[in-house]
Homo-oligomer: A and B are copies of this chain.
Amino acid sequence: MKTYLDCIPCFLDQALRASRLASTDECIQWSTLKLVLQKLATMPLTMTPPEVAQAVYELVYTTTANADPYAELKHYSNRLALALYPSLKETIAASENPLLTACKLAISGNSIDFGPQAQYGDLDTVVASALGSSVAINHFERFRQAMQRATRVLYLGDNAGEILFDRVLIEQLNFHFQADITYVVRDRPIINDATMEDAVFVGLTDIVNVVSNGSGAPGTVLNQCSAQLQQLYKSSDVIIAKGQGNFESLSGESKRIFYFLKAKCSLVSKQLKVKLGDLILLDTVKNH
């Protein structure tokens, strides 16, 4: 997905929020914002939003000399999500279709995103609302069939906190299917995206193979990814891509990808022809 003109003011908003998290000094915040303004004026709109966002956030991190301003928010989200783990498991166990419920929970976890939004509200409410909602684009049955046939699955993670919801889904996938799953995290801190540290914290490394993608983009920018990741991408039968960042960076790829996300920005919801806030489980391959 290309970058739209509407993304530009949004990037400025994001840069301001990140600068304020990274430094309490208003002079530093303004110097940072000025560099971001100049930088944005040089970015081609043919880049995907995660590529532009990466440049913007890296500039903020360098200028404020803070390599991980979202560290505290990430820990907080992980702790909140972990505290929900027993009740999520109970919900799944009590549900008519545990796999579908786990998918909906994994999508609802994508609410935990500090990129396009400043906050995500109360997590209990987010979960309850997702469980009570229908999925606007719902290719669950195709996903289930693809998983049944799959040998290798690549699961592209998105955010801290959300990663616990991914663990819950992966536990279900491991129970229902034979496929070998590899979970992918970002190589280094970018916004509140999950890195290896988060995977360890929520216990994901205990149940699945977790690898870094080798890139610091808030998405999956393939030409930035490690050779290992590119090889895994090519050889996997099913790719699960969580969140807007992965959607924005991979949409248009020929590979079959199942996108699990919540539409949190008007451009993404317009592209997917859904309403803002809708839950999405999208198979990119038609006629399966």
Total residues of chain A contacting the partner, CB 8 A: 19
21 contacts between A and B (CB under 8 A): A5-B26, A5-B29, A5-B30, A5-B33, A6-B16, A8-B12, A8-B16, A8-B33, A8-B37, A9-B10, A9-B12, A9-B13, A9-B16, A12-B12, A35-B41, A37-B37, A37-B38, A37-B40, A37-B41, A38-B38, A38-B41
Given A40-B37, A41-B38: A5 and B9 interface contact (C-beta under 8 Å)? no
Query: Which residues does chain B contribute within 8 Å of A21, judged by CB atoms?
Result: none
Say whether A34 faces chain B, with CB atoms less than 8 Å apart: yes
User: In the complex, what residues of B have CB within 8 A of residue A33's CB?
Assistant: 5, 8
Which residues of A are in contact with B by a Cβ distance under 8 Å? 5-6, 8-10, 12-13, 16, 26, 29-30, 33-35, 37-38, 40-41, 45
Give 11 A-B pairs besides A5-B29, A9-B16 with Cβ atoms closer than 8 angstroms.
A8-B37, A9-B10, A9-B13, A12-B12, A34-B41, A35-B41, A37-B37, A37-B38, A37-B41, A38-B38, A38-B41
In the assembled complex, the Cα of A34 lies from the Cα of B6 at a distance in Å of 13
> Which B residues touch A6, using CB under 8 A?
16
Q: Which residues of B contact A5 (CB under 8 A)?
A: 16, 26, 29-30, 33
Q: By DSSP majority rule, is chain A's interface helix, strand, loop, or mixed?
A: helix
Give the residue among A33, A35, A41 with the most B Cβ atoms within 10 A: A41
Q: What chain B residues lie within 8 Å of A40 (beta carbons)?
A: 37
The smallest C-beta distance from A3 to any residue of chain B, in angstroms, reads: 10
Instruction: Give the CA-CA distance A30 to B47 in the complex, in Å.
Output: 14
Query: Which of A6, A12, A26, A30 is most buried by chain B, counting CB atoms within 10 A of its CB?
Result: A12
Interface centre among A8, A16, A29, A34 (most CB of B within 10 A): A8
| Distance between Cα atoms of A35 and B5 in the complex (Å) | 13
A27 to chain B, nearest CB (A): 10
Whole-angstrom distance between the alpha carbons of A221 and B284 in the complex? Answer: 55
